[in-house]
Amino acid sequence: MTAKQKELKVTLIPGDGIGPEVTSAARKVIAAAGVVIDWEIMDAGAGALDKYETTLPEETIESIRKNKVALKGPITTPIGKGFTSVNVGLRKALELYSNIRPVRSALGISVHHKPIDLVIFRENTEDLYAGLEQDVAPGVAQSLKIITEAASTRIAESAFSWAAKNNRHTVHAVHKANIMKKSDGLFLSCVRKVAAKYPGITYKEIIVDNCAMQLVMHPEQFDVMVLGNLYGDIISDLCAGLVGGLGVVPGANIGDEMAVFESVHGSAPDIAGKGIANPLATILSANMMLRHLGFSKEADRIQAAIVLFLSERHHLTPDMGGNATTDEMVNAIIDKIKLLR
């Protein structure tokens, strides 16, 4: 065990639905790659309600504040009921303003014939997710879309600085400023100011509806994308669909001090407890976490093992066209990790 590993404590939120199944899969893979983590297991979501009378206990937030890093399973958000989303609550409480979602066809399971290697930077703290809603009159409801200069500038900085560090060539800002001239207009003007500081990176703007079509027809033109919260959420799922589905796209929520890693997919109540959830997205999110923690050699090995595993097209879960269980897929990936030792 290295000195770096001795102190390594990470918060683990297993979450709801398939969350415990896929996070336990990710833990097994990390352990197989030789990284020793002292997991601090914390509640959030439906499972926390009885014990804490809230879906997002303060203890859980405190654990992440202390450990600085968390791996999180998906959490069910009841539609139209009084609970605010745990995900939105966490992102706001911890100022995790940058939601980073890499979408790649390199894993060999893409449904698109064109190469895709893009990274989504989704603003994570405001927009229509501010949760400011009210009934204005009978039959009339209102949601407020909040866009601020501070949040738009920091997500743009996040996208451009990442692009510069990772030798990326283009950043697209995605918007609907033709209709929402004030809110999306402010977002665009902030991104433009940041873009001007990065003359080596080509800056482009695209309206969100056209962006959706372009992604389906010509996804290869996109490199790094910066979006507000709602467009980022929707476009992420569209992109996931292009490369093999929600089961394979990882994600990170990053702030200046803390980071929470989680897949793009939700708690998949339709398959929860059946042992057939695809663990890849959570394993890939955990791999982003390992890189964040400085374990790039181990992360490279896990990535190589996944590519090797997928090239054989055995032991795939049903969403990928196979009939393997989550455990069978994880064991097959671990076999490849051992092979690459």
Residues that bind ligand NAI (CB under 6 A): 18, 22, 74-77, 87, 246-247, 262, 265-271, 277-278, 281, 319
- Cβ-closest position to ligand NAI: 266
Question: Which amino acid belongs to residue 96?
Answer: L
In the complex with ligand NAI, the residue whose CB is nearer, 183 or 278, is: 278
Shortest reach from residue 106's CB to ligand NAI, in Å: 19
320 and 109 Cβ atoms separated by less than 8 Å: yes
Q: Smallest Cα–Cα separation from 16: which of 313, 269, 222, 216?
A: 269
In the complex with ligand NAI, the residue whose CB is nearer, 18 or 118, is: 18
- Alpha carbon distance 92, 96 (integer Å): 7
- Alpha carbon distance 248, 259 (integer Å): 20
Shortest reach from residue 34's CB to ligand NAI, in Å: 25
In the complex with ligand NAI, the residue whose CB is nearer, 18 or 32, is: 18
Q: Smallest Cα–Cα separation from 205: which of 158, 171, 228?
A: 171
Shortest reach from residue 23's CB to ligand NAI, in Å: 11
In the complex with ligand NAI, the residue whose CB is nearer, 44 or 194, is: 44
Neighbours of 25 (CB within 10 A): 25
Q: In the chain, what are the helix, strand and coil shares in percent, each to the nearest 5?
A: 45, 20, 40
**Residues labelled catalytic:** 129, 176, 209, 233
89 and 279 Cβ atoms separated by less than 8 Å: no
269 and 246 Cβ atoms separated by less than 8 Å: no
In the complex with ligand NAI, the residue whose CB is nearer, 55 or 158, is: 55
- Alpha carbon distance 48, 75 (integer Å): 11
In the complex with ligand NAI, the residue whose CB is nearer, 125 or 267, is: 267
123 and 227 Cβ atoms separated by less than 8 Å: yes
Phi, psi for 96 (deg, rounded to 5): -85, 80
Enumerate long-range contacts of 139-145, CB under 8 Å, 24 or more apart. Answer: 145/180, 145/183
**Which of the 8 DSSP states describes residue 146?**
B
Shortest reach from residue 18's CB to ligand NAI, in Å: 6
Shortest reach from residue 113's CB to ligand NAI, in Å: 23
Shortest reach from residue 13's CB to ligand NAI, in Å: 9
- Cα torsion angle, 255, 256, 260, 263, sign: positive
